[in-house]
A and B are shown apart, each in its own frame.
Chain A
Amino acid sequence: AQTVTQSQPEMSVQEAETVTLSCTYDTSESDYYLFWYKQPPSRQMILVIRQEAYKQQNATENRFSVNFQKAAKSFSLKISDSQLGDAAMYFCAYRSFFNRDDKIIFGKGTRLHILP
């Protein structure tokens, strides 16, 4: 069964600095999607970035980028130039690519604090 592990329950970073959130996963499949979602205090789930496993190039969205290491089953999120609005819970998620009877699995989350 697929699992997603976020080993950092909480992290803090100084405003304008760079921080990396880690995520590892376990799967026997070769094709899948990986996501990072942000959950601010409002509890709304906001898509930060996504990566298709068949793409070797790491996804980038403005200040957010990932380091996708397929062989190591690692999918870390780098936030550059951290801003106060980045403070939130961040979830890593896995979704099977082809399996109709699929599950979307989330990690336990990392709470990110931004220090002014």
Chain B
Amino acid sequence: SQTIHQWPATLVQPVGSPLSLECTVEGTSNPNLYWYRQAAGRGLQLLFYSVGIGQISSEVPQNLSASRPQDRQFILSSKKLLLSDSGFYLCASPGGAQGSGNTIYFGEGSWLTVV
């Protein structure tokens, strides 16, 4: 099985400040990686996904961006945070080789509060 690490776990940032959330994966190679956001009491919104180094697909146009500089590293960034960026951010990856993703692994999550 694989393990996903996220950091920081919690952060409070002022409006207009930059953001960097990091996700790293252990126990697999060339995984698909996903960033989700969960606003308070709501569902999981897919923000970005990546099928390989440098390959990023964006689902929701916004002031966030994602990068994948290494095979098992996925970074979520913003140059200027908005109040609406507050939420719980989850990094995820399906387990198994291509075509056998019979589970989805998640990181521990990152709580972001923009003030």
The finding on whether chains A and B are genuine partners in a shared complex, rather than unrelated, reads: yes
On A, residues with C-beta under 8 Å from B are 6, 33, 35, 37, 43-45, 47, 50, 52, 91, 93, 95, 97-98, 100-109, 111
Write the nearest CB–CB distance from A113 to chain B, whole angstroms.
13
A101 neighbours in B (Cβ, 8 Å)? 51, 57
On B, residues with C-beta under 8 Å from A are 32, 34, 36, 38, 41-44, 46, 49, 51, 57, 59, 88, 90, 92, 94, 98-99, 101-104, 106, 108-109
Pairwise interchain contact B42-A109, C-beta atoms closer than 8 A: yes
| Complex: chain B residue closest to A108, CB-CB | B43
A101 and B51 CA atoms in complex are apart in Å by: 6
- Give the complex CA separation of A47 and B104 in angstroms: 8
Query: What is the CA–CA distance of A6 and B66 in the complex, to the nearest angstrom?
Result: 28
Q: How far is the CA of A114 from the CA of B90 in the complex (A)?
A: 26
**In the complex, A36 Cα to B81 Cα: how many Å?**
32
**Most B C-beta atoms less than 10 A away, residue of A45, A95, A109:** A45
A109–B38 CA distance with the chains assembled, in angstroms: 11
A-B contact count (CB 8 A): 57
Taken together as a complex, chains A and B put the C-alpha atoms of A50 and B36 apart, in Å, by 20
A104, B42: Cβ atoms under 8 Å?
A: no
* A95:B101 contact, CB within 8 angstroms: yes
Q: Least Cβ distance of A67 to chain B in Å?
A: 20
| Complex A-B: 9 CB contacts under 8 Å | A6-B43, A45-B106, A50-B102, A52-B102, A95-B101, A98-B99, A101-B51, A103-B57, A107-B43
- Partner pick for A33 among B32, B43, B102, B106, CB 8 A cutoff: B102
Chain B residue with the shortest CB-CB distance to A101: B51
Q: Are A104 and B51 in contact (CB under 8 A)?
A: no
CB A34 to nearest CB in B, in angstroms, measures: 11
Residues of B within 8 A of A95 (CB): 94, 101, 104
